[in-house]
Structure 1
Amino acid sequence: MLSLYGDNMRRRSAFGWSFEQWFPAFAIVGLAVPLTHLIKGPVGMASGGGLGEDIALALLLSLHFLWLLSTKMGKTRGRLGTGIRLRRLSVGSELLLVPSLLFLLFSLIFAANANMSYAQWFAETKGNLRLAPDSSLQRLNSLIRYLPLVVLDGVGYVAARIGRRGRLSAEGSSGLDLFLRRWSTLLALASAVLVSLSFSTPLAVKGIGWIGYIAPIPLLLVLSYTSPVRALFAGVSYGTLQALLGNYWLGTYDLLSLHFVTDFHIVIYCLYIPLLLLLSRAVPGPLGRRLRLPLMALIWVAFDFIRSGGFLGYPWGILGTSQYRYPVVIQIASLFGVWGVNLFLWLFAAFVASLIEGIAQGGGAGGWNSVRRCEALLLVAMTLSVMVYGLVALKAWEAREAKSEITVALIQQNTDPRKNDYASTLDVLESLTRAALSSPTSSLSDTLPDDVVALKRSGKPVDLVAWSETAFVPNLRKWGAMDPSSHPNAALANRLLHFQRQLGTWLLTGNDDYDEVTGDDGGNIRNHYNASVFFSDTGERIATYRKMHMVPFSEYFPYEKQFPLFYKILTDFDATLWEAGSNSVIFSHPRADFITPICFEDSFPGEVAAHVLPGVDMILNISNDFWSRTETEGQQHAANALFRAVENRRPLLRSTASGLTCIISPVGKISVELPHYHPGYIVADVPLYGRPETFYQRHIDLLPRLILLFLPLFLVSGLIVRLYRLIRYRCR
């Protein structure tokens, strides 16, 4: 073995030096650039890049120096010493590649804040943040800091594995096992990139849905066929990178959201991957190996379900949502919710991964045998079942006649409420609404800006006008009751109320709401809520819904007394914290009853279904989404929401500040939509199909709950099998 290894090392050299000789020198040069940047400070900035970032870079550099130092430690010489040093270089480059890459990506994403006025104002006034004058300069500093480390670790990762090829072969590894062991981290990172591409990205705003079928395959192979330690590192690396790539738009939501989401996913994957490995490897022997990949598919669906609930619930990045553009595939959501589509994709990838292993191993035991053929038949049967059900369901719904309809006007004003230019925003809302309500021959359309997109699909009078979340920011309950001359906000609120009375139709708008309660000290405490407010055609305030499921840390943190320091960090970084509403509200219109989930509330399957159950005709979501400054977030949000239409067989309407404003049919087809980041409006007749009750509504989240019930039973069964085999072995 050593002879093979030594010969291989001699073959793989550069300028007469072996890898373990030239790489440390290469590493010192690579570390000199970020170290110099750390000492001298950022380019084009009067002060440092921020204490937190400096500490992070210093820690990363220290780990690299310790890694290189470890390769020179020890007394062992000769070929054995060369092997030890090479292994340390190999392992160190792999372990450091992932954090270096994550720091680089995070820093490049966060650099977008340098172009935002509110972030620059915060940096100048609060002192907790340092930003370059613009994003280009900020990104340049990020590249200088972290790119040399990524290149260094990447070169070490690749070169060391090429150099160790002979040694690994001599140790008995071959074929697929050798490939997976050598490239496990790279394969996991590749899965993260592919999964992210299946959703909306800047490269493809609509997403590349078909990639979702193959994206998990490299990850599943690594988790199934490598050692637990290697699988753990690969799994956590996958989860963190996928979260960062899939949620990059959170970098400009506020100054902390991307930090929290990234850290949150590191923690939950560090907890989840060991549990996945324990459950999937619970049963020993050939049977356990056969069940491992399908079990991982089940476990992943259960994991997505768990991470989508509770205070920290965040239902983004569920693989099944990548199929939103394929109506035939997503019809099973009426039976099992988005979880059914999610399970279909994970099982598809699991069966394909198993077939790949069979092909790699060839015939004989463990290869392409009757079990593999059975898996291939299951794959075909499962796919055909999904497709056939989808085609039948679509045909049945296309033949169904609507029982009634409502004519709606969805307004997309394309303004940023954070700029506090409330008067200008109201001007845009009023002009777009008047144009939407006017006849096609009205001259009002001639006064609109050139980039306004007007989609009129109805010549009937409008029954309902819908504005977006926080379309009007000043509190109507407070300022609307005051003398218009007492304050600019009072003048604006009274202007809006007067405008609505003149419309002659019903209006839904996002707005701030509040109530007052008595505090522990006997004083009054005012609680503020993110709300939707419903006005009748006579101007009467009919109902108010207060958002119940808040964005954790950015909108809501209920543990101020338990974690005061953490609460202070949130407020110091300008997090806008609201109170959570406590009651679902059904808005009653003469033509339709509907609910109004606000912002990302339309992404929670069980919660929306529970609110629909009392009996509503349609779902009307209002969202902002302007803050992300990218079409990606709005498209991802719409893709998540689209499944609520199929699960509940109700029309889903979305009125947003910047996109995606659209109308979605009960089978999940987007019938009409406005482009992102353009002012505009949609006027359309929305067919209503009564209040059908789906299997999913009758059994909300049944599929993931059954999986969660099955997994502990499987674990116990595996332990019993292991105990039985141990007893038999001892009794021989």
Structure 2
Amino acid sequence: MERLAGRIMLLWGARRHALAFAAGAVGALALPPFGIFGALFISFTLLVWLMDGQASHPESGWVVRLRSVFLLGWSFGFGYFLAGLWWLGNALLVEADQFAWALPLAVLGLPAFLALFFGLATALAGLLWSDGLARLAALAFGFGFAEWLRSFVATGFPWNAIGYGAMQAPIMMQSSAVIGLFGVTTLAVFVFSLPALFGTRRGLAAGMACGIVLLCAHFGYGAYRLSTTTADAGEGTQTIVRLVQPVLDQSRKLQNSDRAAIFEEHLALSSAAPAEGDRRPDIIVWPETSVPFILTENQDALARIAEVLEEGQVLVAGAVRVEYSSPGSPPRYYNSVYVIDDRGEIRGAADKVHLTPFGEYVPFEDWLRDWGVENLVALPGGFSAAATRSLLSLPDGRTLYPLICYEAIFPHEIGDDVGLSTAILNITNDAWFGDTPGPYQHFQQARLRAVETGLPLIRSANSGISAVITPAGTIVDSLSFNQKAFRDVGLKEVSMPSWSDAERQTHFWLIEMIMFLIAVTSRNGFNFRRN
């Protein structure tokens, strides 16, 4: 290991950045659908040795060295995000004649932008770099801060945060209930970097001891919390939820001539008889934008829903909602979810708060439209965002906390009022991305919201993955990707004690402070003084 570490430290120029790029790309193998846990150990070990190599050139000035470590982190991040997000380009091929020109921007441009955050992470670590265990603390501090920043800068995009690589199974997810996604990210980077100590030996014993303690705490707390969930499994009222997964090709949904047939396909899956001996569903859930027309302007559609629903049943469906501020004013469109009762009456609605850039609205619209940039969703002016998140009240008094599409990737956007809900509802349409890693990554991130809030999660996706998730992140039942079917799932209305988002953020910053103090009190290398 020492010989290998030495050779990597001596790399320079293009070979150094090529290895950093490759290390980041290998790390993406820890993400769904691959879930290779060891991949990030390889990635961060290589990154530490590459950082060590930069620190071994004290003859350059501090500005040059800081720029060098920033670019090193950028190369690492570019490899990680390119390998983990290439599938975004698939959405542009649905209407290739209009959007294929933007393929390089989605496949290369977004990873290049997100890689700036990893460049910031290594730059912060470089300012505190030393030898031994402390440099790993510096790297953990830098990545924790950068990933937290990535969750809200430029509307935020915390997709595939490093912490998800350490939370691939329910037993590995429970720590997020205490320290949140970014607390897990900070500690994960520290642990993933520990094998680098075998290449330099300094701090090896202390590092291995810390790693064993953190891993035991991570898995031990997970086992404890899962056992608590199992003990409570028999408690609570059970509701039968029917997940409808129509698996409609996105290009078909864009055709006006096929809308009536699409609507009837949803109704057919909703009205199908349950398996022999099973109870009929209480709640039927359709995916995001599953209603292919403006429902409030189509009374015949509401009448058909009333025909299909049996007494006491409720339909929860994604739809586009239109609103006029005054007669003659241009319409405002909202990506919404409706609650419809057995009489065909709309009993409640909630609008999406956090819209998808370039999918549902165009940032800097007036300027970019002059350059021909349009929404993927063809609506005049795009969608409008709701000012606040509304809870969905069902006729029987139960309440759902709605997260539409990629809103489920933002842990900080779930407010304290989530505690008033029976369950979290996530409806989405991942058919834009085809059979790629995207839907699997989205599903994993949605599961974490159940763990963090201590509430069950109901998820309905057009092409999958649809499931009911327990408050501990375990799957009660699910529909596989591209499986056109329905599934009746028993939802136990139980919750688990959980920390608030503010408390999780406090714990995250305490971890960041500890890592910073370890790094700053041990700094003796990477001298940034003027020569």
TM-score, with structure 2 as normaliser? 0.84
User: Distance in 1 between the 2:324 and 2:492 partners?
Assistant: 41
1:598 to 404, 424, 431: 404
Q: Which moved more, 1:577-586 or 1:209-218?
A: 209-218
SS in 1 for 2:155: coil
Q: Check 1:703–1:575 CA distance in 2 against 1; reply closer, same or farther (3 A cut).
A: farther
Instruction: Tell me the residue number matched to 1:459.
Output: 278
1:276 matched to which residue of 2? 121
Corresponding residue for 1:235?
Answer: 73
| Gap change, CA 1:609 and 1:642, over 3 Å in 2 | farther
How much has 1:616 moved relative to structure 2? 0.8
Q: Contact 1:311 / 1:552 at 8 angstroms: preserved in 2?
A: no
Long gaps (5+) in structure 1: 1-172, 359-366, 442-457, 481-490
**What is the SS of the residue equivalent to 2:240?**
strand
Counterpart in the other structure of 2:108: 262
- Residue 368 of structure 2 corresponds to 565
| Cα distance in 2 between the residues matched to 1:231 and 1:575 | 43
Give 1:689-700 correspondences, 5 Å limit.
Answer: 689-690=494-495, 692-697=496-501, 699-700=503-504
The answer to whether the 8 Å contact 1:333/1:696 transfers is: no
The one-letter amino acid paired with 1:629 is G
1:469/1:622 contact within 8 Å kept: yes
* Counterpart check, 1:664 vs 2:465: no
- Contact 1:467 1:622 survives alignment (8 Å): yes
Structure 1 residues 289 and 517: alpha-carbon distance in aligned structure 2, compared to 1, 3 A threshold: farther
Q: What whole-Å deviation, never above 9, does each CA across 1:393-442 have from its counterpart, x for those lacking one? A: 1112211242222111110011132344212211211111111xx2435x
The reply on whether 1:612 has 2:418 as its aligned counterpart is yes
**Distance between the aligned counterparts of 2:213 and 2:175, measured in 1?**
15
Q: 2:149 aligns with which of 306, 313, 316?
A: 306
Q: Residue 422 of structure 1: which of 259, 263, 268 is its match? A: 259
Equivalent residue number for residue 188 of structure 1: 20
1:207 and 2:53 aligned: no
- 1:514 pairs with one of 309, 322, 341: 322
Q: Distance in 1 between matches of 2:46 and 2:503?
A: 34
Distance change (3 Å), C-alpha of 1:610 and 1:263: farther
Contact kept? 1:468, 1:656, Cα under 8 Å = yes
SS at match of 2:373: helix
Structure 1 CA distance for aligned equivalents of residues 449 and 467 of structure 2: 14
| Cα 1:283/1:626, change in 2 over 3 Å | closer
Checking the alignment, whether the CA contact within 8 Å between 1:545 and 1:585 is kept in structure 2 is yes
- Which piece of structure 1 moves more, 468-477 or 231-240? 231-240
In terms of fraction of residues, the more helix-rich structure is 1
CA offset at residue 475 of structure 1?
Answer: 0.8
**Closer, same or farther in 2 for the Cα pair 1:283/1:607, shift >3 Å?**
closer
Q: Which amino acid is the alignment partner of residue 464 of structure 1?
A: I
1:560-587 per-position Cα deviation (integer Å, ceiling 9, x unaligned): 35xx235653228776521111121112
Give the conservation status (yes or no) of the 8 Å contact 2:22–2:79.
no
Q: Is the 8 A contact 1:406 1:591 kept in 2?
A: no
3-state SS, counterpart of residue 141 of structure 2: helix
Residue 306 (structure 1) shift: 1.2
Residue pairs, 1:639-650, within 5 angstroms = 639-650=444-455
Give % identity.
Answer: 22
Q: CA deviation at 1:248?
A: 1.7
CA contact (8 A) 1:293 1:354 kept: no
Query: For 2:246 and 2:76, how far apart are their aligned partners in 1?
Result: 38
Question: Map of 1:711-726 to 2, 5 A cutoff?
Answer: none
Structure 1 CA distance, aligned partners of 2:159 and 2:240? 32
Change over 3 Å in CA distance of 1:393–1:498 after alignment to 2: closer
In structure 1, what residue type is equivalent to 2:316? L
Measured after TM superposition, the shift of residue 504 of structure 1 is 4.7
Query: Does the CA-based 8 Å contact 2:350-2:390 persist in structure 1?
Result: yes
Q: Comparing both chains, which one has the higher relative contact order based on Cα–Cα distances under 8 Å and sequence gaps of 6 or more?
A: 2
Task: Please tell me the root mean square deviation across aligned C-alpha atoms, in Å.
Answer: 3.3
**Partner secondary structure for residue 254 of structure 2:** helix
Cα distance change of structure 1 residues 278 and 432 upon mapping to structure 2, 3 Å threshold: closer
Q: Is the 8 A contact 1:188 1:222 kept in 2?
A: yes
What does residue 223 of structure 1 align with? 51
Distance 2:167 2:521 in 1: 37
| Contact 1:197-1:211 within 8 A present in 2 as well | yes
CA distance in structure 1 between the aligned counterparts of 2:365 and 2:163, rounded to whole angstroms = 36
Q: Distance in 1 between matches of 2:444 and 2:511?
A: 25
Shift of 1:323: 4.2
Q: Does 1:344 align with 2:177?
A: no
Q: Distance in 1 between matches of 2:498 and 2:90?
A: 39
1:604 counterpart letter in structure 2: F
Counterpart in the other structure of 2:245: 412
Q: 1:673-725 CA deviation, whole Å, 9 max, x = no partner?
A: 112112111102111115x5412445143344446778998999899999999
The structure 1 residue matched to 2:159, chosen from 307, 310, 316, is 316
Per-residue deviation, residues 511-554 of structure 1 (Å, max 9, x unmatched): 00121236xxx961211111111112332211111101111122
What is the aligned partner in structure 2 of residue 469 from structure 1? Answer: 288
Structure-2 separation of matches of 1:318 and 1:271: 11
Is residue 287–residue 318 contact of structure 2 (8 Å, CA) maintained in 1?
A: yes
Deviations 1:592-638 (A, max 9, x none): 3111211111111111254514x111111111111211152111110
CA distance in 1, matches of 2:167, 2:527: 46
Gaps of 5+ in 2: 56-64, 93-98
Flag the structure with larger Rg.
Answer: 1
Counterpart in the other structure of 1:137:
none
How far apart, CA to CA, are the structure 2 residues paired with 1:713 and 1:526? 54
Is 1:382 aligned to residue 214 of structure 2?
A: yes
Is the contact made by 1:584 and 1:611 (CA closer than 8 Å) also made in structure 2? no
1:701 match: secondary structure: helix
Deviation for aligned residue 1:591: 6.2
Match of 2:329 among 495, 500, 524: 524
